[in-house]
Chain A
């Protein structure tokens, strides 16, 4: 079912919940389409639209807060096994074909303050960061129930993209002025872009992507977030929330438990995808945090490769009454993994809908949109 922005915002702010929201956040992992075709999937199912998913349509607000202009992307080497190219950050990146969907950097542009100063102008404010035609388009679509998104760079993620994980982590201690300058620059730019846009258009959802945790815990702890990331987040969120923005969502895989408090203190009020394999339990977190934070995801993707009994057990636990009071978009905790039988996937959807009191899947209703925002 297609949700409106009003319904979505009320649901995610615990204001009003007449119906549960059951979504597919990311879609399938690479090569799953081949497996499902062999199992008789329709093209609608391969494209994810054939499962009658819940979704809220979204539109970008028209602001660009990242690197601008991006570096030219060029393919340097293409073999049957991999592709090496340059990306928008000017990095050399490698994609392992058949294994990964995202190319990974082989080098990083920033190692010193001098390196950063060379590319800093690409992160500073300029008028061309706002596409006013897109702002107007978003304004019209918003009237039709479309959710308006504004993306900001991750306070951990951007330095990581520029310096690598280890380079960024070391810089917090050995070159804090560099880290502060990167984040102050992007904070200033983001503030100016979104402040101007939000004078014309109500931004519904501020979004950021951090991906800063592994299975055993986050890469950085609360003190780093408090010192470096919070000033950036609060500068943007305090301005937008004063203008009526209700939702601030953050994407991070892994075990985020040790830094949830720190990010709530930064203003975040929606977290996803809440990965159970890394110890994220949305039921326990709801008991601990109540209505301070909403969740998207939370259902263990790996369970789809086990038995139907295990799938049902996971759904009954995650979808218990406590979790049906709003503030949850139930869904898998990341892409649908390889080895997921189509039959199990359909069982997962049908069983979840039953537990959530939703009507049976309508095979004639086509609908899905990526909900990872």
Chain B
């Protein structure tokens, strides 16, 4: 549909005001909220994510695109609720205890939202107990842990252990990422998935929520 293709293209350029205009126009033309979301907004953000993965666009371009997507989603939200359209899954995300870095975590959050997931951002310096309590509270299928420091990455093991202690380890997948994190480290601490970049994290989280991983 031409209007949704245009919406997707404008979203990729970060044109929030134009995206909002087109969301209104599409609704007036009778396009379903679900189609606007998936074919206009999420498809645009997905292309941005792929370009980001290939280093064809960078953080500023991702941020302005995410802002445009969120502007469109906010307008659309009441219509999505009315139509009974649900998110594709729930994730909680945060930077581990002792670590105050947030740009990597924020990028992953945007990529997950761009996949249609409901994401609860727990912020930075998040304790293992909080990760698990919030995962239970929001019925999350994914816990995403971020760390930038070699001195804080060990906290990820505490999140895994805390999930076991709370009895939810088989109900939730734990994803880890950040500058010092590797697949080897992920295996070592007993987490489920490591991804090297935010866009790949979005792909994996979506597959988890759809039961494909």
Residue from A30, A98, A173, A220 whose CB has the most chain B CB atoms within 10 Å? A173
A140 within 8 Å of B by Cβ?
Answer: no
Contacts of B104 in A (CB 8 A): 214
B20-28, B36-44, B56-64, B71-79 - the one binding chain A: B56-64
A99:B99 contact, CB within 8 angstroms: yes
Closest Cβ–Cβ distance, residue A265 to chain B (whole Å): 17
B85-93, B145-153, B202-210 - the one binding chain A: B145-153
Closest Cβ–Cβ distance, residue B177 to chain A (whole Å): 9
Report Cα–Cα, A219/B100, bound state, in Å.
Answer: 18
- Mask: chain A, 205-243; 1 = CB below 8 Å from B; 0 = not: 000000000111111110010000000000000000000
B99:A173 contact, CB within 8 angstroms: no
Given A215-B196, A258-B55, A170 and B60 contact (CB-CB distance below 8 Å): yes
A214:B179 contact, CB within 8 angstroms: yes
A96 within 8 Å of B by Cβ?
Answer: yes
Report Cα–Cα, A257/B100, bound state, in Å.
Answer: 26
Q: Is the interface of B mostly helix, strand, loop or mixed?
A: loop
A94 within 8 Å of B by Cβ?
Answer: yes
A170:B64 contact, CB within 8 angstroms: yes
Closest Cβ–Cβ distance, residue A305 to chain B (whole Å): 10
Closest Cβ–Cβ distance, residue A330 to chain B (whole Å): 22
A104:B100 contact, CB within 8 angstroms: yes
Given A224-B60, A254-B179, A96 and B99 contact (CB-CB distance below 8 Å): yes
Report Cα–Cα, A217/B58, bound state, in Å.
Answer: 8
Residue from A99, A170, A337 whose CB has the most chain B CB atoms within 10 Å? A99
A96:B100 contact, CB within 8 angstroms: yes
Contact of B98 among A96, A224, A258, A302 (CB under 8 A): A96
B150:A100 contact, CB within 8 angstroms: no
A31 within 8 Å of B by Cβ?
Answer: yes
> Interface size on A (CB < 8 Å)?
34
A277:B58 contact, CB within 8 angstroms: no
A100:B58 contact, CB within 8 angstroms: no
Given A29-B151, A98-B151, A215 and B179 contact (CB-CB distance below 8 Å): yes
A285 within 8 Å of B by Cβ?
Answer: no
B149:A99 contact, CB within 8 angstroms: yes
Closest Cβ–Cβ distance, residue B89 to chain A (whole Å): 23
> Interface size on B (CB < 8 Å)?
30
Contacts of B98 in A (CB 8 A): 96, 98-100
Report Cα–Cα, A169/B59, bound state, in Å.
Answer: 7
A218:B58 contact, CB within 8 angstroms: yes
Contacts of A30 in B (CB 8 A): 151
Contacts of B114 in A (CB 8 A): none
Contacts of B64 in A (CB 8 A): 170, 173-174
B116 within 8 Å of A by Cβ?
Answer: no
B197 within 8 Å of A by Cβ?
Answer: yes
Contact of B151 among A94, A100, A257, A277 (CB under 8 A): A100
Contacts of B196 in A (CB 8 A): 215-216
Contacts of B179 in A (CB 8 A): 214-215, 253-254, 277-278
Contact of B197 among A216, A257, A277 (CB under 8 A): A216
Closest Cβ–Cβ distance, residue A32 to chain B (whole Å): 10
A345 within 8 Å of B by Cβ?
Answer: no
Chain A: residues with CB nearer than 8 A to chain B?
29-31, 94, 96, 98-100, 104, 165-166, 169-170, 172-174, 214-221, 224, 253-254, 257-258, 277-278, 302, 337-338
Q: A215-B196, A219-B58 are in contact. List 14 more A-B contacts (CB 8 A).
A: A30-B151, A94-B100, A96-B152, A99-B99, A173-B14, A174-B64, A214-B103, A217-B55, A217-B58, A218-B58, A258-B58, A277-B180, A278-B179, A302-B180
Contact sample, A vs B, 24 pairs, CB 8 Å cutoff: A96-B125, A99-B99, A100-B100, A104-B100, A165-B59, A166-B59, A169-B60, A170-B63, A173-B14, A173-B60, A173-B64, A215-B178, A215-B196, A216-B53, A216-B55, A217-B55, A217-B58, A218-B55, A218-B58, A220-B58, A220-B59, A224-B58, A258-B55, A277-B182
